[in-house]
Structure 1
Amino acid sequence: MTPQELAEKTGENIGTSEWVEMSQERINQFADATGDHQFIHVNEEAAKMTPFGGTIAHGFLTLSMMPYLGANSDTPKIDGVKMGVNYGGNKCRFIAPVRAGKRIRGHWKLLEMVEKRPGQWQQTSEVTMEIEGEDKPALICEWITMYFV
């Protein structure tokens, strides 16, 4: 679809991703990549003694799953995209912990689609990361992506 056609969907839910497991292995790899080895993420025995009852994914790990989940979703694809880049976020709240072994998926609601310069489109979406079987989402984030067409 064209960027202009996508802009007509402002205010609408535009897609949902596939489910992906937040395995302990993924959590450990993220801890290694970032140097964040806090026990609630990587020490299963110690984490059992916390209110979480076991290890949980890093909030930033959950946030970092947005590009993967977006690529593996039914969100509309923009025709002729040469490049898309993360531009930042306006708001982000970590609502509920993602326990190791749980699955998450993303839901996108289009808040704004604006042409900043010819061929440069800024998309602002509200992204909600659902945790399978949980009442509360892992996070809600207002995220900005810049597309070059």
Structure 2
Amino acid sequence: MRTFRSAAELLAAVGTDLGTSGARPVNQARIDAFADATGDRQWIHVDAERAAAGPFGTTVAHGFLTLSLLPMLLREVVEVRAAHALNYGLDRVRFPAPLPAGSRVRASATLLSADPADGGVQTVLRATVQAAGAAKPCCVADLVTRYLF
């Protein structure tokens, strides 16, 4: 885990690979719970029988479920000890490959930028989520965060 205790440490770390989380399962129960929470019950996510005959041979996680795993996964990779951390948004999100139910995923992170902003630092962190054994990542997202120290 990489820990930052000041704005200066963040500014100095631009371009740094921050590491990779441990693997976490994405099982059908988690996919179903996400479908229930969001109302997105498309068959490719929740109908195992139909999905078995579909393009991926199984159900797959929602892209937004994959994205929503980032806070949990990134907590293992990076910690910023700031007075306040504000989720400022996303610059870019892509889902290059499906995430099959039953997969285990890891997230890696790179600090793309850090700039002084309104009494703190605004960072852009590129997070890449990879399923075990997959050739391509299932999610790549640039997270924008403001830290006030």
TM > 0.5 fold call: yes
Aligned residues: 145
Residues in 2 aligned to 1:28 and 1:48: alpha-carbon distance in whole angstroms: 16
Deviations 1:37-87 (A, max 9, x none): 00000010010010110100000000011111111x232x223x2232321
Residues in 2 aligned to 1:24 and 1:146: alpha-carbon distance in whole angstroms: 34
Q: CA deviation at 1:93?
A: 0.9
Identity %: 39
Shift >2 Å, 4+ stretches: none
- Show the 5 A alignment for 1:1-149: 1-71=5-75, 73-75=76-78, 77-79=79-81, 81-118=82-119, 120-149=120-149
Contact 1:109 1:126 in 2 (8 A): yes
Residues in 2 aligned to 1:78 and 1:63: alpha-carbon distance in whole angstroms: 20
2:60 is paired with a residue whose SS is: coil
2:80 is paired with a residue whose SS is: coil
Gaps of 5+ in 1: none
Residues in 1 aligned to 2:89 and 2:136: alpha-carbon distance in whole angstroms: 24
Gaps of 5+ in 2: none
Normalized against structure 1, the TM-score is what?
0.92
Deviations 1:78-124 (A, max 9, x none): 23x22323211111111000000001111111011122022x32110
Comparing both structures, which one devotes a greater share of its residues to strand? 2
